[in-house]
Amino acid sequence: MIPMLINFVADVHGAYDRLHSLLDPSIPLIVLGDNLNMMDFRTFEGIATEMLDADDFRCILEALGRGDRKNAMSIARSRIFDDPQRLLLAQSIVEREYRKLKAVLPPQSIVMYGNVDFPEQLEQVLGPEMFVDFGVREIGALRFGFVSGTPPYEQSMGLPGEIPLDEYEKRLAELGPVDILCTHMPPDVDDLCFDTVVNRNWGGCRAINKYMNEYQPLYHLFGHIHNPRVSEIKKGRTIIRNAGGFRYNGKLFSPDLPI
């Protein structure tokens, strides 16, 4: 088989212009989710600033001042998703952002969603050729398995891209054997799940570990963890690789695959 280059990226979080500057239109791109920049708590940039008012930000800042990031995220989520008018506004802003993403993508792109994405709006903007929820697609001689979103984890906020654990496990099991497994969620491996900037383990999915033990794909590629302690390990024949953190590191992952 002849090697073929495919670019992988995750956690773009609104850095569409930067992504565009690195892309070659002739090279396929697979995006592993977390396309939106809802809110960067380091800089307070993000589309949530268009959806929240001064009182909302006061409450969020107070929570952050107490070191309670989870509560800060919960406040932002409740203000946006529990108010029908704000939710409509949010959906229109999200669609605008996804149109920006689509404008920079190479023609041969496949885009997954992560926990901070709006799957319905992403599918509407990208269409069925680019958007993938879960399932298997063949590229050349290889089978690519996709499972978008995340099951619940410790810091889950009930965002649109989060999926009940039993449904996530069912989707993963339905893939069967593939050559390349693509998820947004990492497996449950401490070094891969530990973010060195926030100094905590965000947790992984044991069902992914089980899948890899059974089928041993050539690669498992994922995102979600922006600054991992370790970006890549090998287990059996499987190379397990975090291809994410793009908003923070500006890097693509470009393995030569035997297509």
Provide the pLDDT for residue 66: 82
Of 204, 198, 215, nearest to 242 by C-alpha is 204
Strand partners, 197: none
- Is 53 part of any domain? no
Q: What is the DSSP letter of 7?
A: E
**Number of domains present in the structure of the chain:** 1
Mean pLDDT, residues 71-90 taken together: 81
Per-residue model confidence as pLDDT tens digits over 190-234: 999 999 998 889 999 999 999 999 999 999 999 999 999 999 999
Instruction: Please give the residue that has the higher pLDDT: either 73 or 243.
Output: 243
Per-residue model confidence as pLDDT tens digits over 48-61: 788 877 787 778 77
Task: Tell me the CA distances in angstroms from 258 to 50, 140, 180, 197, 233, one per residue in order.
Answer: 45, 9, 11, 35, 20
- Is 172 part of any domain? yes
Strand partners, 193: none
User: How many angstroms separate the CA atoms of 152 and 164, rounded?
Assistant: 7
Q: Which residues contact 167 (CB under 8 A, 6 or more apart)?
A: none
Provide the pLDDT for residue 3: 64
CB 149 within 8 A of CB 162: yes
Strands 3-5 and 180-183: unpaired
CA gyration radius, the chain: 18
DSSP string over 170-232: HHHHHT-S-SEEEESSPBS-HHHHEETTTTEE---BHHHHHHHHHH--SEEEE---SSBS-SE
Of 242, 184, 239, 181, nearest to 211 by C-alpha is 181
pTM of the model: 0.91
Per-residue model confidence as pLDDT tens digits over 108-152: 999 999 999 999 999 999 999 999 999 999 998 999 999 999 998
Provide the pLDDT for residue 74: 78
- Is 49 part of any domain? no
Residue 1 clears pLDDT 60, i.e. is over it:
no
CB 221 within 8 A of CB 239: no
- Is 32 part of any domain? yes
Q: Which residues contact 245 (CB under 8 A, 6 or more apart)?
A: 10, 11, 223, 225, 226, 227, 228, 251
| Both structure tokens of 226 | 């922006």
DSSP, collapsed to helix, strand or coil, labels residue 71 as: helix
Provide the pLDDT for residue 190: 95
- Domain limits at 9? 3-36+97-253
- Is 149 part of any domain? yes
CA 161 to chain centre: 9
Domain at 114, CATH number: 3.60.21.10
Provide the pLDDT for residue 2: 57
The least confident of 14-23, 137-146, 195-204, 238-247 is 195-204
Of 257, 137, 150, nearest to 203 by C-alpha is 150
- Is 136 part of any domain? yes
Q: Which residues contact 82 (CB under 8 A, 6 or more apart)?
A: none
- Is 90 part of any domain? no
Mean pLDDT, residues 19-30 taken together: 96
User: How many angstroms separate the CA atoms of 202 and 185, rounded?
Assistant: 10
Rounded to the nearest 10°, the torsion over CA 140, 211, 173, 111 is -50
- Is 17 part of any domain? yes
